Amino acid sequence: MDWSKQSKEARTWFESLRDRICAEFEAIEREAGSDAAFDYIAWDRETHEGEGDESDGGGGVRGVMKGKVFEKVGVNVSTVSGKFSEKFAEQVNGASPENPDFTATGISLVAHMANPHVPAVHMNTRFLTTQSAWFGGGADLNPPIEYAEDTEAFHARLRAACSAHNPTYYERFKKWADDYFFIPHRGVARGVGGIFYDHLECDDTVTFDRHFAFTKDVGEAFLDAFPAIVRKRMGMEWSDEEKAAQKEWRGRYVEFNLVYDRGTLFGLKTGGNIDAILMSLPPEVTWG
């Protein structure tokens, strides 16, 4: 099946979600007395040997803001296509050395906050096609200082989004997040979890519409839940010791993203923009 129409539809949605998220984050900065705004930088994907000189590998837009509340937040939208390397094709759903073609469109967000009482957060949703087509994504909360009510509010909103589509989704995808966002060499979780899902297969337009509707609701749940937590915590005072603990906690985040994260690997293996791929790294970090 030719998924180009569906890929364009997904891309349009991801771009609209990006615009609304960035507007909301800028509004929070205004409430804090800051005029910080996103800088947007367009980039083109680097094509690889064997893809042809005329290959259009696509690209994306990297948006970054550094402000009073958001010490560093990146919101990226990309739409790329091409051929996987022979070795990497063997690791991707629906791809093979004989059929290495792919397209991918998605949004990816990571926010590192100035106040250690405000949790960092990650969210991404995506649509990929190889010989298969599927949705994936999720969101997870990463507080240096955990507040149980914030964790519950975040999970409750994701639970509601999942339950509207399938009664099994939340428990399945929460466990997937718990298992995935874990740092084996440290023996600790990266944060307090959320949901993570992948390979929601699209066999036809009916299943595409169903999984796309769920993916959109994940984006809406994030936009509803996270800004509310930020506004609740961003005015709290913090100590030097709490800031130091935040920076050390960020080191764990860096270790996960550079060692284990599949999205980082996918970007590096497909000629993505290096700054966009590594926008998840915090501006200041320490290791004890």
Which tens digit of pLDDT belongs to each residue from 193-218? 999 999 999 999 999 999 999 999 99
Residue 23 falls inside a structural domain = yes
Residue 288 falls inside a structural domain = no
**Overall average pLDDT of the 219-242 stretch:** 98
Count how many domains the chain has.
Answer: 1
Bridge partner list, 68: none
Residue 287 falls inside a structural domain = no
Q: What is the pLDDT of residue 48?
A: 53
List phi, psi (to 5°) of 41: -130, 120
pLDDT above 50 for 119: yes
Residue 31 falls inside a structural domain = yes
pLDDT classification of 263: cutoffs 50, 70, 90 = confident
Q: Write the CATH number for 227.
A: 3.40.1500.10
Catalytic residues: 122
User: pLDDT digits over 139-190, tens only?
Assistant: 999 999 999 999 999 999 999 999 999 999 999 999 999 999 999 999 999 9
Q: What is the pLDDT of residue 52?
A: 44
User: pLDDT digits over 80-97, tens only?
Assistant: 988 877 667 666 776 677
Q: What is the pLDDT of residue 177?
A: 98
pLDDT classification of 269: cutoffs 50, 70, 90 = confident
Task: Report helix angle 205-233 to 148-163, nearest 10.
Answer: 160
pLDDT above 70 for 51: no
Tokens of 123: 């969210």
Q: What is the pLDDT of residue 142?
A: 97
Domain boundaries, position 78: 4-280
- The size of the chain, in residues, is 288
Residue 209 falls inside a structural domain = yes
Residue 57 falls inside a structural domain = yes
Cα–Cα distance for residue pair 116/45, rounded to 1 Å: 35
**Overall average pLDDT of the 254-271 stretch:** 86
Q: What is the pLDDT of residue 275?
A: 84
